[in-house]
Amino acid sequence: MAALSWLLIPIMAAIAAGVWGSWASRHRTGIPDSAGVAGYERFRAAMERSRMEETGAGHRPEPPAEPVVTAARQVADHPARTAD
């Protein structure tokens, strides 16, 4: 009887996995793609407006300064090893 109760655990796990899999792969018809894309575009436009308000309307941020490049100290190369 104890063996049957231990066998019940994986069987119940398989049933739970099947139920979850069917629920996760269901066809969602809540929001059509076009409405979702339009909502995302409205969100982007609002974020751009808020960024412009932060930096000042019409003010363009200055481009980043050119990076300073310094010459690194170079160590003399040794001759390549040869296969003997």
| Predicted confidence (pLDDT) at residue 76 exceeds the cutoff of 70 | no
SS3 of 23-52: the string is HHCCCCCCCCHHHHHHHHHHHHHHHHHHHH
Reported pTM: 0.35
Q: State residue 21 phi and psi, 5-degree precision.
A: -65, -40
C-alpha to C-alpha distance for 49 and 47, rounded to whole angstroms: 5
In tens, the pLDDT along 1-28 reads 888 889 999 999 999 999 999 999 987 7
C-alpha to C-alpha distance for 1 and 7, rounded to whole angstroms: 10
What single-letter DSSP state applies at residue 58? Answer: T
